[in-house]
């Protein structure tokens, strides 16, 4: 998605060869019109399939899951990261190890909102090691629902996430794929093909 790549080039801060900060338009302050356009793009990608639910993990996937859900005309669910009293019974859950935070946490979704009749698209902001998305994939499986595909806003293609998802037969669509980066320099996967 050209306009997304342009924004990453213009405003992305490359903190190391592995971490990209996009707080000015995606992860802290949010460009709402861009978020809606991202949702429309996922809507075009997945719109030919009988999607019933869009899934994400709180918090940074929520605006993209919502925009995608609007485009597809279905509800979205965000997995909760913290144990909450209102979600104590009847949950699907999976452990997720965060490499950026060096901690493992549980994500959970209530049995009430996901089940064997659902056809699911998972959406998230970043695909890095794939841990968060693999946790959601496990939850979809546990629920007996069908996974139609995964949509990521930014994929760091030099990390292992895509490979691990594809090994499980998951169809991955990313709107910007970073082949490599270092402070002051960023290359998208398409760059390497030209």
Question: Which position among 71, 77, 120, 127 is part of the footprint of ligand 5GP (CB under 6 A)?
Answer: 127
> At a CB cut-off of 8 Å and minimum separation 6, what does 67 contact?
35, 36, 38, 39, 40, 42
Question: Which position among 54, 65, 131, 137 is part of the footprint of ligand 5GP (CB under 6 A)?
Answer: 131
Is 131 annotated among the ligand-binding residues? yes
Tell me how many residues contact ligand 5GP (CB under 6 A).
18
Do the beta carbons of residue 65 and residue 54 sit within 8 Å?
yes
Q: To the nearest whole angstrom, how small is the minimum distance from the Cβ of residue 78 to ligand 5GP? A: 12
Token pair 């019974």: residue: 89
How is residue 57 written in tokens?
A: 């993990």
Q: To the nearest whole angstrom, how small is the minimum distance from the Cβ of residue 73 to ligand 5GP? A: 25
Do the beta carbons of residue 120 and residue 145 sit within 8 Å?
yes
Residues numbered 106-125 forming contacts with ligand 5GP, rule: CB under 6 A: 124-125
Stretch 57-96: interaction string toward ligand 5GP, x if CB under 6 A: ---x------------------------------------
The helix/strand/coil state of 143 is helix
Q: To the nearest whole angstrom, how small is the minimum distance from the Cβ of residue 116 to ligand 5GP? A: 26
Strand partners, 79: 57
Do the beta carbons of residue 151 and residue 46 sit within 8 Å?
yes
Residue 130 phi/psi, 5-degree rounding, is 85, 0
How is residue 80 written in tokens?
A: 């909760």
Residues numbered 3-62 forming contacts with ligand 5GP, rule: CB under 6 A: 19-22, 27, 60
The helix/strand/coil state of 75 is coil
Does residue 132 touch ligand 5GP according to CB under 6 A? Answer: yes
Residues numbered 158-177 forming contacts with ligand 5GP, rule: CB under 6 A: 161
The helix/strand/coil state of 134 is helix
Residues at the site binding ligand 5GP, with contacts judged by CB under 6 A: 19-22, 27, 60, 99-100, 124-132, 161
Residues in the annotated binding site: 20, 27, 128-132, 156
């Amino acid at each position: 998605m050209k306009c997304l790549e342009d924004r990453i080039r213009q405003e992305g801060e490359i903190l190391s060869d592995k971490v990209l900060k996009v707080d000015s338009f995606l992860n802290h302050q949010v460009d709402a019109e861009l978020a809606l356009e991202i949702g429309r793009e996922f809507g075009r990608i997945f719109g030919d399939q009988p999607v019933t639910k869009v899934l994400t993990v709180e918090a940074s996937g929520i605006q993209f899951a919502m925009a995608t859900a609007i485009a597809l005309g279905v509800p979205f669910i965000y997995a909760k990261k913290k144990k909450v009293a209102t979600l104590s019974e009847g949950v699907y859950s999976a452990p997720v190890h965060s490499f950026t935070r060096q901690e493992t946490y549980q994500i959970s979704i209530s049995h009430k909102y996901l089940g064997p009749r659902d056809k699911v698209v998972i959406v998230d902001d970043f695909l890095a090691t794939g841990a968060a998305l693999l946790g959601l994939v496990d939850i979809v499986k546990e629920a007996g629902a069908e996974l139609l595909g995964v949509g990521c806003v930014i994929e760091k293609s030099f990390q292992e996430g895509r490979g691990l998802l594809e090994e499980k037969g998951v169809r991955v669509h990313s709107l910007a794929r970073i082949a490599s980066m270092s402070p002051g320099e960023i290359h998208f996967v398409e760059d390497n093909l030209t």
